[in-house]
Amino acid sequence: MQRELIDRIRALMDEGVATRVLGWKKGEFFYDTEPAILTAEQLDQLVYDSFCGPNLSKYLIQEMPKLEGKIIALIKPCDSYSFNQLCTEHRVDREKVYVIGVGCKGKIDVDKLRARGITGITAIDEDGDTLTVHTLYGDETVNRHEVLLNKCLTCKGKEHRVFDEQIGESEDTSAGADRFDMVKKLEAMTAQERFEFWRGELSKCIRCNACRNVCPACSCVKCVFDNPNTGVQNKAAADDFEENMFHIIRAFHVAGRCTDCGECSRVCPQGIPLHLLNRKFIADIDDLYGEYQAGEEIGQRHPVINYTQEDCEPSVVRERGNQA
Amino acid sequence: MKKLSLNSLNQWLEGIAGERRVIAPIEAADQVNYGVWTPDSKIRLDALRTVKSAKDAFFPQVENMMNFRAEGKNLSVEMIDPKAEDFVILGVKACDARSFDILDRVFLSDPYDPFYAARREHATVVTLACGRPDENCFCVNFGIDPADPKGDATMWIVDDTLYLRANTEKGEALVKDLEDADDAAVKAQQAKTREVAEKLPFARLNLKGFDGDHLMEKFNDPHWAELSRACLGCGTCTFVCPTCQCYDIRDFDTGHGVQRYRCWDSCMYSDFTLMAHGTNRPTQVERFRQRFMHKLIYFPSNNEGMYSCVGCGRCLAKCPQNLNIVKVIKALGGDEA
Amino acid sequence: MSVNTEWKPKIVAFCCNWCSYAGADLAGSSRLSYPADVKIIRIPCSCRLNPLFILRAFQRGADGVILCGCHPGDCHYSTGNYYARRRMTLLFSMLSYLGIDSRRTRVEWVSAAEGPKFAATMNDFAKTITELGENVKLGDLRCKEN
Amino acid sequence: MRTDNLIPMIGVVTEIRQDTPDIKTFRVEKPEGGKCFEHMPGQCAMLSIPGVGEAMFSITSSPTVKDYQEFSIKKCGCLTEWLHAMEPGQQIMIRGPFGKHFPVEDALKGKDLLFIAGGVGLAPLHSVINYVLDNRDDYGKVDIVYGSRSKDDLLDIDEIQSSWMDPANRMDVHLTIDRPQEGWDGHVAFVPTYVEELGFDPNKTVLVCGPPIMIKFVLQALTKLGFQKEQVYTTMELRMKCGLGKCGRCNIGDKYVCKDGPVFRFDELDELPSEY
């Protein structure tokens, strides 16, 4: 499929559709692919394989002002939601992007291999659902589904919500999983258990801002946490409170706009399940204001900047109980 | 050489922890980080890399320096006494052990940093040799032997046995009561580790030209723009790095006084050099370049060729978009020699 | 829960300028009593309440935070409180999700004519917070006076 | 080994002068009177207001002033706004001195000096000029070119007229403003142009400070006049936090501006990346 993709992009470039493509390029290993913007001459560096996990949509923001003509962007089904959302927010101009919807059958998480004690990885052979991992210390076989990125386990489906053309087959890798499983589990806990769960997770935070900087919804020119005039600017969480504050506020600021792309959790060096915060907002929005998926269409008005006269009162939270 | 069965590790640590804090790689919420050991902690000496490095033990992410109080137009200041308590840091790998030498050059040079100095003085560093380096390791390029780290005492884990060797008086005090052992098993493991280390994909990076004499040439290298393009400008690489030592000094108004604290900062952040009239590194290209130029050129230029990279591989493993120092070395320094 | 007799809860009440602040005024001028530990902060409209304000109030020692605004439909800016309602619902739910008791946060609609309601609301809220005790989960240790 | 300039001491602002619409000069002394510390011309100090922040400022007064130090500060950011809002008698935190000074005791001694300053860039040179004035016989001919946006923006104009322009002091002062203005009968030109017009003898040693763009063009003008880079000194400004060469903020190339600077000779700067 990589070959087919490169040939097609080359043809598009020859036709004059665009001069550059936003995609992935090969890294030092087979698995550390890197987001890249390539010209026709660099096209041979383009890769598209099971390790192209990063969501590229946000890179388009910085390209917008530089663009003359169009840029080709490779968009996976799940990334297409972020792309739409960015277009809705006028951060990306749909007209300036030629979207190739690339097929996706789930992306592999190398950290999950490492967590299984498979280290010194040198190569992986893919044969259907079976992966043979070659390492410095011998070969191992694993089931592909077990080492997919977490975001792939709650796959939003194989449909591209936006594209100019599609290349490659997609597959829904969610296997029927309910993405709100963990949210429900947490909701069922006692307040103290929830508190302890989140303290345990958030106390790992090193405030590297990777979650914020990778997030396609966090596209503010100047973040509130970088602005010395807000009084909340902080570079490191000097106190438990600041860890909580950063993550609550960040989740709140993207509520209604978060497409649940899962990048925040993917990039967190400490493996904090940050998507569970965003997903809680999504669950609440679905529950209280009607089902809503950000980025489904360009131009949607999201529920947090909307209202009806019949909305529930905030006391609904208290009434749900489970406080102590 | 002394030895200890891994089964009695907790017992041994309990003995030490009675007198002073023990800091060791501990697993909490699925991640291994250095933390204070208690009998309930899940110690993970087998973990190759902790997420954060061991530098926290000497240079914590946040540290209070002084307190101010204001009364009318008058101020009073109270310095925080950098008096530290004795502690043992256990399980430090060769790369992290080297990072202490690098941090010493910064914090112990004149005028020395009293907070860092106090912790260094009170620490007993117990290192641990690597048994299973992985593909991201490249410490051998910097003259580090992963099989024989230094510190006050060195440990090796072979099967179910922990072997210990004291290197200093402090180390001797720790291990003196343990059972004597011969070093055959350790020697065998060292040979194996060194053999693997030599075969690692990044075992022979070409560091030629990374020195003060090539400063302008490397600075003006056309590759920087391409190398930094995918950089998110987050601080992951700097915060997991064992040698990154830039910090910020900030004030926090507690409502009844002002705390002046310092905290890690990252040259990757857009406000790192921001002044009222603007910044001298306006785009991510310059910020990205600064980090790697500092590690590979500026620092060695001031420190007799000592690189401020130890090859621990954390930035390789943790960069969200897979940018790292190896890519920089290869792009700027040519291919493997 | 044993209630410490020494301890008095600190409560921050954000009141919209047009209704609730006037309501508080009326409560005062009608000599209705409500706890002195309620600190009122006037905001132009209930939808001015940034979630950060609530968190910062907790950081700096508040034990409970209440938002008072015009009744839905009566907003001076016609729709501000509708937006505030959604936002606060979501925020309170999130705080609860993090294990922070949602009884520490509340929204009440108080009009300019409802002095007694204002006083009653504050008394009731103060009672709830007194029962819940000191806020330890969402405070900042640095801000505690030693 | 010293750790003293890590620890701030309390200083009292005993006098505040409004020099121009956006520049004030602050006189700082120890609470019990006297200078907070000794310094050399060109060195800097960290001033801070607890809760607001800390920043590096060049010391405007000459070391020959024994009782106090002065800082001319332009209002342009968060901390400086607070400083400008202060009243005399207010205590602040001060630590220093930091950095290398102008080589007034060796390289500059016996030389003909040319000072070129623009706007608030006079502040660091002010210290050197007064030092030279107080040791007038140690130096040769002295020229000062000083320019600002308008006549109201000329810093220390009273002192310039009463002291620097005093023939007894044997200094030539050339003032200029950027645009013609009512009530100004002096020269009108940008500083670099004026320097070129004045056509100085290229044997002088030059000390220049001002906005980066001015420095750039002044250097071009000087080169045209035949000056070598080894004859030109400047002082730099970058974001600083620790002042000790540790926090990493003011790092350019293998130099730290707080420790290896802020005074640099232009040929030294040539060997550094142009990140300033």
User: Which H or E run includes D133?
Assistant: helix D122-134
The Cα angle at residue B264 between residues B258 and B269, in degrees rounded to 5: 110
Say how many CB pairs under 8 Å bridge B and D: 120
| Inter-chain CB proximity D51 and B253 less than 8 Å | yes
Q: What is the pLDDT of residue B335?
A: 46
Most D CBs within 10 Å, among B65, B75, B275, to test the D interface: B75
Split at pLDDT 50, 70, 90, the class of C141 is confident
* B:274-303 residues touching chain D, CB 8 A cutoff: 274-277, 279-281, 286, 290, 293-294, 297-299, 301-302
Evaluate whether chains A and B are touching (3 or more beta carbon pairs less than 8 Å apart).
yes
Task: Convert the pLDDT of each residue in D119-172 to its tens digit.
Answer: 899 999 999 999 999 998 899 999 999 999 998 998 888 888 888 888 888 888
Q: Same domain for A17 and A164? A: yes
| Inter-chain CB proximity B73 and D276 less than 8 Å | no
Q: Closest by alpha carbon to B253, among D197, C87, A231, D217?
A: A231
Position D65 pLDDT exceeds 70: yes
- Average pLDDT for residues A231-246, to the nearest whole number? 87
| Inter-chain CB proximity B276 and D78 less than 8 Å | yes
State the DSSP code for C2: P
Task: Convert the pLDDT of each residue in B266-279 to its tens digit.
Answer: 999 988 988 888 88
Say how many CB pairs under 8 Å bridge A and C: 124
Say how many CB pairs under 8 Å bridge B and C: 11
The minimal CB distance from A244 to the residues C98, C101, C105 is found for: C98
| Inter-chain CB proximity B290 and D87 less than 8 Å | no
Q: What is the pLDDT of residue B101?
A: 95
* Distance from C-alpha of A211 to C-alpha of B92, rounded to nearest angstrom: 29
Please tell me whether residue D60 adopts helix, strand or coil conformation: coil
- Average pLDDT for residues A60-78, to the nearest whole number? 91
> Regarding predicted confidence, which is higher, C127 or C1?
C127
* Distance from C-alpha of D153 to C-alpha of A266, rounded to nearest angstrom: 54
The answer to whether D160 and D154 are in contact (CB under 8 A) is yes
Q: Which residues on chain B are in Cβ contact (under 8 Å) with D120? A: none
| Inter-chain CB proximity D51 and B75 less than 8 Å | no
SS (H, E, C) chain A: CHHHHHHHHHHHHHHCCEEEEEEEECCCCCCCCEEEEEEHHHHHHEECCCCCCCCCCCHHHHHHHHCCCEEEEEECHHHHHHHHHHHHCCCCCHHHEEEEEECCCCCECHHHHHHCCCCCEEEEEEECCEEEEEECCEEEEEEHHHHECHHHHCCCCCCCCCCCEEECCCCCCCCCCCCCHHHHHHHHCCHHHHHHHHHHHHCCCCCCCHHHHHCCCCCCCCCHHHCCCCCCCCCCCCCHHHHHHHHHHHHHHHCCCCCCCCHHHHHCCCCCCCHHHHHHHHHHHHHHHCCCCCCCCCCCCCHHHCCCCCCCCCHHHHHCCCCC
User: Within 10 Å of residue B98's Cβ, how many Cβ atoms?
Assistant: 26
Task: Convert the pLDDT of each residue in B179-224 to its tens digit.
Answer: 999 999 999 999 999 999 998 999 999 898 898 888 988 999 999 9
> How many structural domains does chain A have?
3
- Average pLDDT for residues C39-46, to the nearest whole number? 96
Q: Which residues on chain B are in Cβ contact (under 8 Å) with A56? A: none
Instruction: Confirm whether the ipTM is greater than 0.85.
Output: yes
Q: What is the pLDDT of residue B336?
A: 43
| Inter-chain CB proximity B252 and A136 less than 8 Å | no
| Inter-chain CB proximity C98 and A315 less than 8 Å | no
Q: Which residues on chain C are in Cβ contact (under 8 Å) with B252? A: 142
* Distance from C-alpha of C53 to C-alpha of A249, rounded to nearest angstrom: 11
Residue of D nearest to B251 (CA): D51
Q: Same domain for A54 and A169? A: yes
The Cα angle at residue A316 between residues A311 and A322, in degrees rounded to 5: 155
Contact residues of A toward B, CB < 8 A: 27-29, 32-37, 54, 59, 111, 114, 119-122, 136-137, 200-201, 203-204, 206-210, 212-214, 226, 234-238, 266-267, 269-272
User: Which H or E run includes C26?
Assistant: helix C20-29
Most A CBs within 10 Å, among B62, B291, B321, to test the A interface: B321
The answer to whether B297 and B210 are in contact (CB under 8 A) is yes
Position D3 pLDDT exceeds 50: yes
| Inter-chain CB proximity C145 and B256 less than 8 Å | yes
Split at pLDDT 50, 70, 90, the class of B255 is confident
Task: Convert the pLDDT of each residue in D44-59 to its tens digit.
Answer: 999 999 999 899 999 9
Q: What is the pLDDT of residue A319?
A: 85
| Inter-chain CB proximity D54 and B249 less than 8 Å | yes
Q: Where do the domains of chain B lie? A: 2-199, 212-333
Q: Closest by alpha carbon to B241, among B198, B294, B285?
A: B294
The answer to whether B78 and B67 are in contact (CB under 8 A) is yes
Exposed / middle / buried, residue B28 (Cβ in 10 Å: 0-12, 13-18, 19+): middle
pTM of the model: 0.91
Q: Same domain for A37 and A162? A: yes
Q: Which residues on chain C are in Cβ contact (under 8 Å) with A251? A: 94
Position A20 pLDDT exceeds 60: yes
User: Which H or E run includes B65?
Assistant: strand B62-71
* Distance from C-alpha of C67 to C-alpha of C46, rounded to nearest angstrom: 7
Q: What percent of chain B shows pLDDT beyond 90? A: 75
Q: Closest by alpha carbon to D12, among D87, D92, D83?
A: D92
| Inter-chain CB proximity A311 and C98 less than 8 Å | no
Phi-psi region of A93 (alpha: psi -120 to 50; beta: other; left: phi over 0): beta
Split at pLDDT 50, 70, 90, the class of D1 is very low
Phi, psi of B89 (to 5 degrees): -110, 125
| Inter-chain CB proximity C98 and A230 less than 8 Å | no
Residue type, A154: T
Q: Which residues on chain B are in Cβ contact (under 8 Å) with A208? A: 234-236, 238-240, 266
| Inter-chain CB proximity A209 and B269 less than 8 Å | yes
Q: Same domain for A173 and A218? A: no
| Inter-chain CB proximity B251 and D90 less than 8 Å | no
The Cα-based distances of C40 to B256, C62, D50 in angstroms read 20, 12, 28
> Regarding predicted confidence, which is higher, D243 or D2?
D243
State the DSSP code for B138: -
Q: Tokens for A184?
A: 């429900």
Q: What is the pLDDT of residue B337?
A: 42
Q: Closest by alpha carbon to B85, among B34, B17, B24?
A: B17
Q: What is the pLDDT of residue C2?
A: 54
D4-98 placed in CATH 1.10.3470.10: no
Position C3 pLDDT exceeds 70: no
Evaluate whether chains D and C are touching (3 or more beta carbon pairs less than 8 Å apart).
no
Q: Closest by alpha carbon to B286, among B269, B311, B299, B301?
A: B269
Could you give the count of Cα atoms lying within 13 Å of D101 in the half-sphere of its Cβ?
23
Cis-peptide into D50, omega within 30 deg: no
- Average pLDDT for residues D56-85, to the nearest whole number? 92
The Cα-based distances of A324 to A318, D29, D47 in angstroms read 11, 58, 49
Q: Which residues on chain B are in Cβ contact (under 8 Å) with D248? A: 245-247, 265, 267, 294
- Average pLDDT for residues A111-136, to the nearest whole number? 88
Split at pLDDT 50, 70, 90, the class of C146 is low
Check if C48 contacts B (Cβ < 8 Å): no
Residue A92: which domain range?
A: 1-109+156-177
| E strand segments, B196-266 | 247-253, 258-264
**Domains located in chain C, CATH noted:** 11-134 (3.40.50)
Please tell me whether residue D129 adopts helix, strand or coil conformation: helix
Split at pLDDT 50, 70, 90, the class of A323 is low
Contact residues of C toward A, CB < 8 A: 51-52, 55-56, 58-59, 72-73, 79, 82-83, 85-103, 105-107, 137-142
Residue of D nearest to B114 (CA): D3
Split at pLDDT 50, 70, 90, the class of A98 is very high
Q: Which residues on chain B are in Cβ contact (under 8 Å) with C145? A: 255-256
Q: Same domain for A207 and A197? A: yes
Residue of C nearest to A248 (CA): C94
Q: What is the pLDDT of residue B111?
A: 85
| Inter-chain CB proximity A232 and C56 less than 8 Å | yes
User: Which H or E run includes B71?
Assistant: strand B62-71
Residue of B nearest to D93 (CA): B75
Longest dimension (CA), chain C: 46
The Cα-based distances of D218 to B268, C50, D194, D211 in angstroms read 33, 50, 9, 11
Q: Same domain for A135 and A235? A: no
Task: Convert the pLDDT of each residue in A145-198 to its tens digit.
Answer: 999 999 999 999 899 999 999 999 999 998 888 999 999 999 999 999 999 999
Q: Which residues on chain A are in Cβ contact (under 8 Å) with C82? A: 307-309, 311
Instruction: Indicate the CATH number for domain D113-235.
Output: 3.40.50.80
Q: Where do the domains of chain D lie? A: 4-98, 113-235
Q: What is the pLDDT of residue A138?
A: 87
Position C20 pLDDT exceeds 80: yes
* Distance from C-alpha of A11 to C-alpha of A24, rounded to nearest angstrom: 18
The Cα angle at residue D129 between residues D127 and D130, in degrees rounded to 5: 70
Residue with tokens 């949210």: A183
* Distance from C-alpha of A74 to C-alpha of A56, rounded to nearest angstrom: 8
